[in-house]
Chains A and B, each alone.
Chain A
Amino acid sequence: KAGVTQTPRYLIKTRGQQVTLSCSPISGHRSVSWYQQTPGQGLQFLFEYFSETQRNKGNFPGRFSGRQFSNSRSEMNVSTLELGDSALYLCASSLERRGQDIQYFGAGTRLSVL
């Protein structure tokens, strides 16, 4: 069974640009969550999508958005990039187990904003 796939693995952008990251969940998983990881802040929750609907949202500005398609694949978009957006962006898909979600992570997309 294939794992969570994130593309691209690395990305370099300049301030003011926008970027779109992609995530393909494990087959059969319907929940996809996105996290931002920086050395100083650890793993910060961005949002979660379930059946094409945003189910939960973290405390990030509106420049961060996402969507989920009918095949559960998800994309996140960051507009008007800032230097502080440089981070590893992780996607995780969920399989419910005993009523509690276990998250399976992709390898991440490392975004550098210059």
Chain B
Amino acid sequence: GQQLNQNPQSMFIQEGEDVSMNCTSSSIFNTWLWYKQDPGEGPVLLIALYKAGELTSNGRLTAQFGITRKDSFLNISASIPSDVGIYFCDGGTYKYIFGTGTRLKVLA
């Protein structure tokens, strides 16, 4: 079945550092969605991407739709403690499948 692999699975970073994570699949997608889940809450949509090569920003977050349409990337610049949480990717075409998640912990 469809599978979305996220890397890294978890990361500890210092406040102020930049963060990079990705989501890859063996299948082609027409949409990539990135969600963030705060502890004890449901996932919240951060960024939606609809076209190969598209680069979209939301504040300190920037996401890119890979040219091959099989991957997507999320970058967080100048991380702050409230960035802690789990980041999920979602290939919207197969909307029932989420990535395995990247757990981010920010050390003040």
Contacts and interface: CB of A to CB of B under 8 A. Distances in A.
Asked whether A and B interact, the reply is: yes
B27 to A, nearest CB: 15
Contact of B42 (A98, A101, A107): A107
Given A42-B101, A45-B96, A58-B96, A100 B42 contact: no
Interface in A19-60: 33, 35, 42-43, 45, 48, 56, 58
A43 B87 CA distance: 12
B65 to A, nearest CB: 12
Contacts, number: 55
Nearest to B90: A103
Contacts of A92: 42
Interface of B: 30-31, 33, 35, 40-45, 48, 50, 88, 90, 92-93, 95-101
